[in-house]
Homo-oligomer: A and B are copies of this chain.
Amino acid sequence: MINQRMYELGNEPSAIRELFAYGLSRKAEIGAENVFDFSLGNPSVAAPDAVKKAALELLEKPSQEVHGYTPAQGAPGVRAAIAASLNRRFDTSYTADNLYMTVGAAASISIAINAIVTPGDEFIVIAPYFPEYRVWIENAGGICVEAPARMGSFQLDIEALEDALTERTKAVIVNSPNNPTGAVYPECDLVELANTLRRKQDEYGHPIYLISDEPYREIVYGDTKVAFIPTLFENTLVCYSYSKSLSLPGERIGYVLVPPAAADAAKVYAAVCGAGRALGYVCAPTLFQHVIEKCVDEPCDVASYQENRDALYAGLTKLGYECVAPQGAFYLWMRALEPDAKAFTERAKGHELLVVPSDSFGVQGWVRIGYCVERSVIDGALPAFAALMHEYQAPTL
């Protein structure tokens, strides 16, 4: 009598949620300092002071101005400020009318998919991938097709992607810097991707969109460069969120960018507005729209994530773990010490280590370690990772 699919989605066990709940109860049991919880992607860095300053200033304005409805696309001044910031950084020429403000990246991606899907359309995701992609694609009536990343480096595998492309392909979703692997796709690979897509567009006689999910765009390490994908491939829809760059995950604020050069751009933008309407979005939260307007050029505080990354990557590789060197985001992707990643994460729990098995992301044999944590968690965890390695190496196993 109810919607069975929604019931199953609501009831579905989620490794990440279960680990998080386990962590809470375990911390209550043995003390938070004794549990090394790497399960979540909740930023450990505080929001910049500028966010608080902006919010305090805004709250002094008339209530109707800061808490009232904005147009469905978002306040024009907010969108103009974001367009100007993108133009300064990426040498583009966007306007407010190319942007649609959303309730965070999940809304951005869900709306973008709904805007372009027609029945039977295929959306390609690159495994390992954020598991909600499949939920949003299937809920919109699309088909989720997995193409593997290159095993080992977890970079783009253009050949594998080409094998996955068909006449029914509506879009490819890319996420660089990547959750869960920490990989950042170099510009040369993205150019090759763009060329492949253009060739396939010609062959099939219709556009293929690239949905670029880029909440980690600003979180990269060393001299890693993040290419701005719409400048490489015209049919790119950017789905952004301020959750990670400004440490505002709970405030649900982001955007969809429909570049004017994209195929059918005006129609796609209208369909984005329609999809937002159909899904029950009215406008993005007004106060935080205006906070973003004031903080649009605020730098992301990457330093403490970088310290965590350096300590964790050095510590784990020294212990003999096989890790992908994270170039961006705040996840370290590590090979499990047995083929069954779930079994491995269960044994890790015995050492109070909470890490997410790669099965959640559509591949086998790896784990995601979210290092958006206090530094003390990493320092405490390394001896536990050593003991875990020792356990696997012990001859009695």
B264 in contact with A2 (CB, 8 Å): yes
Complex CA–CA separation, A108 to B281 (angstroms): 10
Contacts of A1 in B (CB 8 A): 116, 118, 206-207, 263-264
User: By the criterion of a CB under 8 Å from any partner CB, how many residues of chain A are at the interface?
Assistant: 81
- A183 at interface, CB cutoff 8 A: no
In the assembled complex, how far is the CB of residue A194 from the closest CB belonging to chain B, in whole angstroms? 19
Chain multiplicity (copies): 2
Find residues 1-18 in chain A having any chain B CB closer than 8 Å to their own CB: 1-12
The binding surface of chain A is classed by DSSP as helix
- A55 at interface, CB cutoff 8 A: yes
- A196 at interface, CB cutoff 8 A: no
A116 in contact with B42 (CB, 8 Å): no
Which residue from chain B places its CB closest to the CB of A46 in the assembled complex?
B63
Complex CA–CA separation, A267 to B9 (angstroms): 11
- A279 at interface, CB cutoff 8 A: yes
- A300 at interface, CB cutoff 8 A: no
Known: A10-B270, A111-B280. 5 other contacts (CB 8 A): A3-B114, A40-B69, A42-B64, A139-B278, A285-B288
A-B contacts, 9 of them at CB < 8 A, read A3-B116, A3-B274, A3-B275, A9-B274, A44-B64, A51-B67, A103-B281, A132-B277, A252-B284
The 8 closest A-B pairs by CB, nearest first: A250-B286, A110-B280, A10-B274, A9-B274, A10-B273, A6-B274, A10-B270, A46-B63
